[in-house]
Amino acid sequence: MRFLLDDEQREFARSLDALLTAADTPAVVRGWASGDHGPGLALWRRLADAGVFALAVPEAYGGVGPLPVETAVAFVELGRHGVPGPLVESVAAGVLLGGVGGPAAKEWLPGIASGTAVVSLALEGYGPYALDADVADAVLTVTGDELRLTRGAGGATGPGAATGPGGSTGRPAPTGPGAPTVSVDPARRLFRPEPGGEVVAAGPGVREAARAAGTWATFATAAQALGCGEALLRATVAYVKQRTQFGVPVGSFQAVKHRLADTLLGLEFARPLLYGAAVELADGAPGAGAAVAAAKVAAGEAGYAAARTALQLHGAVGYTEELDLAWWLRRARPLRDAWGTPSACRARVLAG
């Protein structure tokens, strides 16, 4: 089966590529890793204006979703350009709140769709950390049948904040989430959610909504991993055309060609699995979870293989932080393991 994007979807991809190319995302990533979130949040709002965060938010709350295929298109581009921040988590939070409904959905979903709210998320079964909780307006956690919400360090500017004299919001100053856990990728800051938080929903519906949110988070991460791998392969091909040895480009050596061909094959085999999973999600097929898990395994492993190829063929220069490539190299492994490790995803495929 062939999965071909229509003209509107291809134009969406081209517009995001142009937006992110003009945004100088390597500089944004460096700033984010050093604690300067201003450029990243400005880019976040531009992505929201392009409709990225509305893709998983139901129309009743100001979104246009759920649109899995368009979400895949968007997150491949976000991965290709290395955009930092809790992108996956905000989209998955949209699915979670949309499934739960109630006052929390009315308060936060319009902000997620419009980009005025940055939300991070932690779910049982996917690790104890919330990505970039120090930047988030809210952190959502699900334990059993309870959905809890903790207003984060950015919570004073979240939805419904009433600005008072001198720019104050009238809310108590939010407490920070503590020190981040060391990550392979300095631009992925991992925090353990603060204990407690406000219970905003409870009951069996929370568990079902959390299951759907986890599947969407796995799906969006797979798309990011595919885009990251494509960026690494593209940079490596350009480099081996320029670097010479024995008077010829190293890209002309057969061993180099074979390594690049293997990398390309891995990425190209992952692509139809990703879009096949998107179709299953859109149709609400019973096997959608297993299809998403298969796509995550293929895309995550292909992206990580692209990183190993890029590092080897760039030689020692690939290790240097001065080279933009280093940020994509550091991201490939975390994306492979985030929101479903390869072993966990394979188990889900077998169970499905």
Residue by residue, pLDDT tens for the chain (352 residues) are 667 899 999 999 999 999 999 999 999 999 999 999 999 999 999 999 999 999 999 999 999 999 999 999 999 999 999 999 999 999 999 999 999 999 999 999 999 999 999 999 999 999 999 999 999 999 999 999 999 999 976 543 445 443 332 333 333 334 456 788 888 999 999 999 988 899 999 999 999 999 999 999 999 999 999 999 999 999 999 999 999 999 999 999 999 999 999 999 999 999 999 999 999 999 998 899 999 999 999 999 999 999 999 999 998 787 788 899 999 999 999 999 999 999 999 999 999 8
Q: CB 128: neighbour CB atoms within 10 A? A: 12
Cβ atoms of 53 and 109 within 8 Å: the answer is: no
Q: CB 210: neighbour CB atoms within 10 A? A: 27
CB under 8 Å to 106, separation ≥6 — which residues? 61
Instruction: Report angle CA 249, 301, 67 to the nearest 5 degrees.
Output: 110
Report how far apart, in Å, the C-alpha atoms of 131 and of each of 50, 154, 290 are.
Answer: 23, 14, 25
Q: Tell me the CA end-to-end span of the chain in Å, nearest whole number.
A: 21
CB under 8 Å to 14, separation ≥6 — which residues? none
Q: Please indicate, yes or no, whether the overall pTM of this predicted structure exceeds 0.85.
A: yes
Separation between Cα atoms, residue 173 and residue 113, nearest integer Å:
25
Longest distance between any two alpha carbons in the chain, whole Å: 70
Compute the Cα dihedral for 263, 265, 266, 272 and give only its sign: positive
Cβ atoms of 210 and 141 within 8 Å: the answer is: no
CA dihedral 64, 50, 183, 316 (to 10 degrees): 140
Which position has the token pair 């500089």? 27
Q: Which of 235, 270, 343 is nearest to 72 (CA)?
A: 270
Q: Which of 207, 193, 17, 15 is nearest to 89 (CA)?
A: 193
